[in-house]
A and B are shown apart, each in its own frame.
Chain A
Amino acid sequence: MSRSDKHIDEVSGVETTGHEWDGIRELNNPLPAWWLWVFWVSVAVAIIYWVLLPAWPMVTTNTIGILGSSDRVNVANDMAALEAKRGAMWQQLTSVPLESIESNPALLEFAQKAGGVAFGTNCAGCHGSGAQGAKGYPNLADDVWIWGGKLADIQQTIRFGVRSADPETRQSQMPSFGRDEILTKDQINDVVEFVTTLSGGEANAEAAERGRTVFAEQCTVCHGDDGKGNRELGAPNLTDQEWLYGSDKATLYETVFYARRGVMPAWHERLDDPTIRALAVFVHTRGGGE
């Protein structure tokens, strides 16, 4: 706009921008002083920042700044500081025998807290946030243990897993009685009737009687003559009220026909020793620990 367009507003005495909308003109007031000050101070701060701290991206790297600050180094230092901070208790988790952790109130509280955090991160996905389990994933809060509920048993299970790739894993293989044609469908139906009677369920007496013979031939090796299972072999107790996959006959049929082979990873590959011990204590103190 040329100077000849210069227009002074009559009321305020201020020059306008020269734009006009239906007779309305915009005053060309200068920016407020405080605003300009904030702007220039920000500019100054930005320049100081460039000099002191990492700022400008280069082709393969970036400007470092004369303070030499680095977020990578800071994170490493923070991690080291964290290790140092929880050091003594953390060390103690591994240095004392597993069984004595629970008789030391301070260490117990520490282990439960640390174990609780590790459980929430690593275990809750399958076993549930309260260790209550789900279909196919054992409830860790009750008193039923497939592989044993002592601290050492729990630790062993966490460390090496169940049917994991680890050579020391908990291992049990129930045969797929139906799919592999070890038993006929009728025989499986009979054995299901019999197994139902073991935990006090209602069953066809005649079929159950036939099932008893099949059970004695095929199942007692692992589950025991009385059906109470065998922890050495990871064979569940069939006489209690707790069923990992369900106790209705259709589910039992499926279990016998195909067998169940749930897998738990070997956690020693991912978690360090103190964390596993804290986890063992956490699970053991959920209420069912032996």
Chain B
Amino acid sequence: MAVPPPEHPDFLWRNPEPKSSYDVVIVGGGGHGLTTAYYLAAHHGITNVAVVERGWLAGGNMARNTAIIRSNYLWDESAAIYEQSLKLWEQLPEELDYDFLFSQRGVLNLAHTLGDVRESRRRVEANRLNGVDAEWLSPEEVQDVCPIINTGDDIRYPIMGATYQPRAGIAKHDHVAWALARRCDELGVDLIQNCEVTGFLKDGNRVVGVETTQGRIHAGKVGLAAAGHSSQVAEMAGVRLPIQSHPLQALVSELFEPVHPTVVMSNHVHVYVSQAHKGELVLGAGIDQYVGYGQRGGFHVIEDQMAAAVELFPMFGRAHVLRTWGGVVDTTLDASPIISKTPVDQLYVNCGWGTGGFKGTPASGMTFAHTIAHDEPHPLNVPFSLERFETGFLIDEHGAAGVAH
């Protein structure tokens, strides 16, 4: 055990019965739904809020991600929202009075080809112009930051350098969910589990509530934060989304003494690795290529990701895989999220975070809460509207997002 986990609180949240009516109902009790409820209650004074969750709280991608937090995105619009998110991560442990082990251990994004190098250096410059901490490191400097990585030229894709964001890091994702849920509950938000939305109540073009497996719930406004299942939920309200849902897999090894001091990501060989606080190595891969809701993917994807990891970190060849799992991620064509009003009045959507939703959780909730409270987007999420697919103002983050992030 590397670090003893902080003591777990005795009480987190009530399990209330749903009331017949709320000012706002949030569909989806994952990270994004919980932060949205938190910012509605704590920053907009809207506390008559319910978060309805089909399964258990934070049991979807919030329980399945690799917990990487960074903000080194290429375009101004993304840098702005992800950097805001990183700043919120820096203040949330105190704000929520819960140590969820946010560890700013830095992230290396490796470059393995000349194309990678050019693209990475461009991104470093773009990041600096946007006030994001970013550096370009030579292979020797990469070795200094992460001594266990193989920077030799004896591998198929030698490391030619890396971007480095020192303020990036990881957090303990389940503790993040509990911290948010506890504070939401304290502020009067009803967190309702085992409550699947089966339909929407509409009055003309205006949404006025939801039908659920626990009965009808009236609502002034409804916000959707259903990740991989966003298409299905939105379709019940008559809204079509430019989303495709794919399996995304990850795995952990057994526990080790601390060996890996930072976060290493490589788009080129499709792997990203950190070492969690307990000591397990956490590895993620790219998405499986097909549309899938099975929360599982092909073993060959895991195999390829392991091959890449073992080549980059020769010592991992002695480690054993402990568990592998999969989630369902909602991807957009430009690898950027949608935080937007919809063609239906008082219905708002927050989706399309694809493979990188965890790092965006705080800013996602902050901007979505603002959008719901004011029926107008926050300046940070104006560019992330549904309309961008019609105006052509896409925010193409495939380079920064990679196959997965």
**Chains A and B form a bound pair:** no
